[in-house]
Amino acid sequence: MTHPIGIILAGGQATRMGGGDKGALTLGTSTLLNHVIARLSPQVDAIALNANGDPERFAPYALPVVADSIEGFAGPLAGVLAGMDWAASMGAETIVTAAADTPFFPADLVAQLQRAAVGMPHPLVLAATPHPDRNKVRHPTFGLWPVALRDDLRTALQGGVRKVVQWTDSHQGRLAMFPQEAAFFNVNTPDDLKAAEAML
């Protein structure tokens, strides 16, 4: 399997951070988004940002910006679809998504997702981590997605599907297990940002 296209999901509303782009928040000497780009770049062939609104605010990152094609705030699946459509225009077969507010995700994210997808006609895998109380925790903004299913996803979104796992389960999606849940720590609140500084 060749390297996929990377799509960074930066379209969240950041309501618990007071609105705005969480990826622009400072972490260490850089931004959250720069940390995500640096971690994802070696694992993929190209990267685009999924975000809505004025794309010029991302000009410093020198990356393509693809907006949701589904009206209203339809959540991560709309970003996945936007990424699939962009990747299809480049002739790519798969994309990998990562969240713009999760700076410490595994450096072998793509390799592990692809390993879990071996034998699947349409590679569809979400990252997951063990949890002592719930057996496992799925991280639905981190996944490997087949471009071939983009029209199916479009139809599902137009029909009102919003939960990632509802759609992936309908296609017998698999999980790639990662040992440390902290690797998918995401910044939702000011306290989370302080915790990320400590982790950094």
pLDDT of residue 12: 57
Q: How far apart are CA 196 and CA 101, in angstroms?
A: 10
Count of structural domains, the chain: 1
Is the CB of residue 69 less than 8 Å from the CB of residue 88? no
| pLDDT > 80? residue 43 | yes
Which of the four pLDDT bands, split at 50, 70 and 90, describes residue 15?
very low
Q: How far apart are CA 44 and CA 20, in angstroms?
A: 27
pLDDT of residue 14: 47
Which of the four pLDDT bands, split at 50, 70 and 90, describes residue 18?
very low
Average pLDDT of the residues in 53-78: 93
CATH code for the domain of 70: 3.90.550.10
Is 1 or 7 the better-scoring residue by pLDDT?
7
Average pLDDT of the residues in 149-172: 97
The number of beta carbons lying within 10 Å of the beta carbon of residue 5 is 24
Give whole-number Cα distances, 30 to 34, 76, 163, in Å. 6, 25, 32
pLDDT tens readout for residues 162-182: 999 999 999 999 999 999 888
Q: How far apart are CA 140 and CA 142, in angstroms?
A: 5
pLDDT of residue 131: 83
**Structural domain for 34, as ranges:** 5-199
